[in-house]
Each structure stands twice: as C-alpha cells, then as structure tokens.
Amino acid sequence: MSKESKTYKNPPKKVYIRTFGCQMNVNDSEYIIGQLEQSGYSITGDILKSDLILLNTCCVRAKVEQKIYSLIGKIKKIKENNQNIILGICGCMAQKEKENIFKRAPYVDLIFGPSQLNNLIEIVNSIKSGKKQSIFCNNTTCFNLKDIPVKRESKISAWIQIMRGCNNYCSYCVVPYTRGPEQSRGVSEILSEVENLAQKNYKEIFLLGQNVNSYGKNLPESITFSKLLKLLNNTNGINRIRFITSHPKDFNFDLIKVIKNGDKVCEHIHLPIQSGSDKILKIMNREYNVNQYKSIIKEIRKNINNISITTDVMVGFPGETENDFLDTLNTFKEIEFDDAFTFIYSNRENTIASLMPNQVPLQVKKERLWRLIDLQKEISTTINKKLEGEILEVLVDKKSIKNIPNQLSGRTKTNKTVVFIGEEELVGQLVKAKIIKSDTWTLYGELVK
C-alpha cells in the first residue's frame, strides 16, 4: 500500500495541551503526554486540529485561575463548531474546583486532579468510550511514577518529582488542598530513574518537592533529603543536581555539607522567606522567625563560597502594615538575595488567611510590590556586576531567544543566565565563559577555549 493511500481503522488522535503553574505541573504534563502518546495520541500545537484539549491548571493565585476560566470560556466556541472535541481540565485548579467547573462551563467533559496521573490510561479509555462529565479527583496514599511513560521537554535537564503534596498549611496557600498530603517517592525508584537519565546523556537533574527538606518522612526506609543527595551525587554521568524548594522550618544543616562536598550539587539554594516581619510570618503559619531565617543564611554563606540564594516573598498579606513591609525591605537590604520571586498576596477562598481581618487594598499592595522589586533589582545588579571578569562553568541549554545569530544561553552552577556567542553544537555541553558584562538578570560572556 502506498504511503498516501494508507488509511487507519482508528486514526491517530491529536491532543492539544496547555500547562500553567510551576515545574511540578510542567513535569506532570510530560507524564500526561508520555502516556497519551503511548496510547496512540499525537501532540498538536493547533487547538483547532485537536480531538482532545487538556488544560493542566494552576490556582496558586486568583489571577491565573481567572485566566484559565477565561480560556475555558473561549474554548466553548471551538466545541460548538466541533462536538467531537473532548475538553479536559486537569491539575491543581481541577482538584480545587471539581464540579464547580461543570457548573461554570457545562461543556467541559472531564476533570482530573494531580494525584490521578497514574490512572491516565483508565481516564483516556473512559474518554474513548464516550463517557462525559467524569471527575477523577481522589487522593492516593502513596506516590510513585514507576513505569509511567514520560515525554521530557528537554534532552539536557530533567525534572524529577521526589515528593508530592504538602502538609504545611501555610495560611494563604491552596497547595495542600490541590496536591494532597505530603508523600515521598521511594529512593530506589528515584535512583533508577536518574541512572536511566544518565544513560540517555542528561547533564542535569532538577529535584522537585514543595518542601524537599522533609523528604523521606513518610517512607519505611531511613532516608533524609541530604542522604538522597549524597546517593545521587554518586551516580555516574549526571553533571549537575539542582533542587527546589527548601522550607526554612525544616532546613537541616547537613544539607550545607552536602552542597559543599557534593561536586555535582549546585551552589544555589531557593529558600522562600515570604515576609521580613515576625508578626506576619506567625500568622502565615510559616513556623520560623526572621532571626532563625537569617541564621540559616549566615551558616550557608559561612560554609559555601559564592553560593547564590534566591527567595519567594509576598507583599500585602492581611494585617501587613507599612512597618511590617519596611521590615521586609530592611531584611532584603540586609540579606542581599541574588534574586527573588515577588508576589502580591492573593486571597484564595477557603484558606485561613482569606478569613483574616485587615485585608490590604490592592493599590497599597501594588505600590509595595514595586518598592520591593526596585530594591531587589538594585541588589541583583550589584551582585552580578561583581561577577564581571570571572570565568564560570556554563551548561548550555539553548540558542538564545533574542534573534542574534549564534547566540547561546546557559546557566551557571549558581543558576545565573549567561549568554554568549558560540556554535549550536555546544547546546547540551558544559563550557567555560568569561563574564564581560552584566545587568540585573543576565551575564554576558565570551567562550573560553
């Protein structure tokens, strides 16, 4: 039969998937795509040509949830024009909203939460059998990704979820409700995944968890996050190990030793502070105070030269006064983070913080955000300036997004972006670059042969 005349009994179905939110969601989508491809689907970037539309959603802040609801609204037209398209909403917002989504958008066919990833084939079969308006949102009692096909976006750096869920119930946060209770993934499963990635020539692994410092707590084996890092550091082949997120309340000083002595463990810690005011940290239920946070930073910097420290911070938490905010500004001046993800507090229904008095007006929140961003920009620029003249190891991850011929982009061990001119074959390699120039976000280098 000639290629052109080939017909399929069951023509391959096309799936359009859009992912919102954090790296965990991105990695979940890699597993969703892996499983769908194995069951005969192919990926399309053209929503109009798809048979299945999946939105892998986030709801950590209200804005992203509104954006997703508005996208679901737009898809209504596409569904009206083609009744056969199946629309599925998965991920964190699906888990939080459940049947509310059907109420707001009755044309949605399918809802499943993050814990249902391993049941995707069953879910796909229910789609194929034409079952509509199904909800799959039960939490699971253990977390494994054993034998689940995965289609990774990158061939250089791989996300690895070492745990799922969260038990911390910070008073503002939806994650414990969307990703369920904290569950760690077994050590041997993680080790064999990393060995497998090393054989495929991956250079970097990125370990993911909402609070990696409490890794292992629910496992039968005796393991901690630091021990896991030590084991991974001994894996042949992988060059770099990164991880997020460390929670200050569970920060264990063993980790400092592992970063210092483990040649593959990158010199970068992301340690969300959230606020520089003890009063606010207490009502956030973060379980540390500013002094405790600062002593962790001091110990890290005392032991590890040139480590970069980044953070997450929120402004406008209920009850945050100008003085509380000044405490945050002063803490930032004192600590001098390499970089910070800055957020406006977003009121999430059913969280403890949403019921707190003294919600801060949006205008005040915005104004505080900009003051904090301006300060952080100054600090990041000064820190980057000090790197001019240094020769740094860079893992080249892509051609630079700016349309400059032969411009490549990569990351230092301290997670700073370096752009430089070089041949495309260098993508995926470790090179040395001399830093010539810098700005707030980027280092500009020259390849050192």
Structure tokens at 375: 């300060």
Distance CA 121, CA 245 (A): 30
- Picking from 39, 35, 97, the residue whose alpha carbon sits closest to that of residue 68 is 97
Q: Which is nearer to ligand SAH, 102 or 177 (CB)?
A: 177
Q: Which is nearer to ligand SAH, 21 or 410 (CB)?
A: 21
92 binds, options ligand SAH, ligand SF4, ligand F3S, none, Cβ within 5 to 8 A by partner type: ligand F3S
- Picking from 366, 368, 384, 377, the residue whose alpha carbon sits closest to that of residue 329 is 368
Contacting range for ligand SF4; rule: CB under 6 A; set: 102-110, 163-171, 288-296, 347-355: 163-171
Quick one: which of 133, 134, 138, 169 contacts ligand SF4 (CB under 6 A)? 169
Q: Could you list the beta-strand ranges (E) of 251-347.
A: 268-270, 308-315, 339-344
Q: Which is nearer to ligand SAH, 184 or 409 (CB)?
A: 184
Q: Which is nearer to ligand F3S, 58 or 353 (CB)?
A: 58
The terminus-to-terminus CA distance of the chain in angstroms comes to 54
Q: Give the burial class of 291: count Cβ atoms within 10 A of its Cβ; 0-12 exposed, 13-18 middle, 19 or more buried.
A: exposed
**CB 341 → ligand SAH: shortest distance, Å?**
7
In the complex, the residues that contact ligand F3S under the rule CB under 6 A are 21-22, 24-25, 58-60, 91-92, 174-175, 178-179
Distance CA 371, CA 389 (A): 31
157 binds, options ligand SAH, ligand SF4, ligand F3S, none, Cβ within 5 to 8 A by partner type: none
H-helix or E-strand spanning residue 360: none
In the complex, the residues that contact ligand SAH under the rule CB under 6 A are 60-61, 172-173, 175, 210-211, 245, 247, 272, 274, 312, 314, 343, 345-346, 348
Quick one: which of 168, 246, 328, 346 contacts ligand SF4 (CB under 6 A)? 168
Contact string 246-285 vs ligand SF4 (x = CB under 6 A): -x--------------------------------------
Contacting range for ligand SF4; rule: CB under 6 A; set: 14-22, 162-170, 333-341, 402-410: 162-170
- Total residues contacting ligand SF4 (rule CB under 6 A)? 10
314 binds, options ligand SAH, ligand SF4, ligand F3S, none, Cβ within 5 to 8 A by partner type: ligand SAH
| SS3 state of residue 349 | coil
Residue nearest to ligand F3S (CB): 21
Distance CA 320, CA 7 (A): 65
**CB 161 → ligand SAH: shortest distance, Å?**
13
The answer to whether 185 touches 67, Cβ cutoff 8 Å, is no
Cβ-Cβ contacts under 8 Å for 137 (sequence gap 6 or more): 94, 95, 98, 111, 112, 113, 115, 116
Structure tokens at 183: 């569950």
| SS3 state of residue 30 | helix
Quick one: which of 211, 239, 310, 414 contacts ligand SF4 (CB under 6 A)? 211
Q: Which amino acid is at 398?
A: K
Distance CA 244, CA 34 (A): 24
253 binds, options ligand SF4, ligand SAH, ligand F3S, none, Cβ within 5 to 8 A by partner type: none
**Residue 170 touches ligand SF4, criterion: CB under 6 A:** yes
**CB 447 → ligand SAH: shortest distance, Å?**
35
| SS3 state of residue 230 | helix
**CB 97 → ligand F3S: shortest distance, Å?**
12
**CB 60 → ligand F3S: shortest distance, Å?**
4
**Residue 308 touches ligand SF4, criterion: CB under 6 A:** no
- Picking from 94, 99, 106, 103, the residue whose alpha carbon sits closest to that of residue 29 is 94
**CB 61 → ligand F3S: shortest distance, Å?**
8
Q: Which is nearer to ligand F3S, 60 or 433 (CB)?
A: 60
Distance CA 225, CA 216 (A): 7
Distance CA 10, CA 28 (A): 27
Distance CA 229, CA 339 (A): 24
Neighbours of 160 (CB within 10 A): 19
164 binds, options ligand SF4, ligand SAH, ligand F3S, none, Cβ within 5 to 8 A by partner type: none
Q: Which is nearer to ligand SF4, 270 or 413 (CB)?
A: 270
341 pairs with which residues across the strands?
312
DSSP structure class, residue 380: H
Q: Which is nearer to ligand SF4, 140 or 168 (CB)?
A: 168
178 binds, options ligand F3S, ligand SAH, ligand SF4, none, Cβ within 5 to 8 A by partner type: ligand F3S
- Tell me which residues touch ligand SF4 (CB under 6 A): 166, 168-170, 173, 175-176, 210-211, 247
